[in-house]
Amino acid sequence: MKPITKIEIITRSEKIDELKEAMNGIGVAGMTMSQVYGCGLTKGHKEIYRGQEYTINLIPKTKVEIVVCEVPVDLVIATAKKVCQTGKIGDGKIFIYPIANAVRIRTGEEGDIAIMDPEK
Ligand SMILES: Nc1ncnc2c1ncn2[C@@H]1O[C@H](COP(=O)(O)OP(=O)(O)OP(=O)(O)O)[C@@H](O)[C@H]1O
Ligand SMILES: [Mg+2]
């Protein structure tokens, strides 16, 4: 079984459409998105969100979770960096996790096959 990896990208919500398109373009088959509130290392620094300056450190962000086995993890990371990097405070973070198993509920398939594109 090929290793399965989850890439979690927490970034600016305004980057999400572009990120979704870019991930589609490299063959990412599925993703989960959620609205989250968070803060990073830059406590004490003020982050601007929609023209408003936040002194409290919980800023709305979007979290994108992508699980891959065939699409290279490095390519997913490089694509996320390309789309999300503005160079300003608050561009976000990428976390990488090994995944123990995956199950496609409809068929009961497990492992790499559960997240592969059946067309390929
Ligand atoms: N150590 C962490 N653990 C969990 N979530 C984190 C962590 N660091 C950042 N995040 C999440 O990522 C989001 C974006 O982080 P952010 O871009 O502010 O990171 P940073 O390290 O402060 O970098 P920057 O200097 O660019 O602001 C946060 O709002 C939070 O949701
Ligand atoms: Mg920060």
| Confidence at residue 59, expressed as pLDDT on a 0 to 100 scale | 87
Note the CATH architecture for domain 4-115.
2-Layer Sandwich (3.30)
Mean pLDDT of 82-100: 96
Q: What residue ranges line ligand 1, CB within 6 angstroms?
A: 10, 36, 38-42, 59, 61, 89-93
Task: Tell me how far the alpha carbon of residue 70 lies from the centroid of ligand 2, in angstroms.
Answer: 32
Task: Tell me how far the alpha carbon of residue 103 lies from the centroid of ligand 2, in angstroms.
Answer: 35
Identify the band that residue 52 occupies on the pLDDT scale cut at 50, 70 and 90: confident
Closest to 73 in 3D by CA, of 101, 98, 103, 109: 98
pLDDT in tens, 10-46: 999 999 999 999 999 999 989 999 999 998 876 646 6
User: Would you say 10 and 101 are in contact if contact means Cβ atoms under 8 Å apart?
Assistant: no
Mapped onto helix, strand or coil, the DSSP state of residue 19 is helix
Task: Tell me how far the alpha carbon of residue 57 lies from the centroid of ligand 2, in angstroms.
Answer: 8
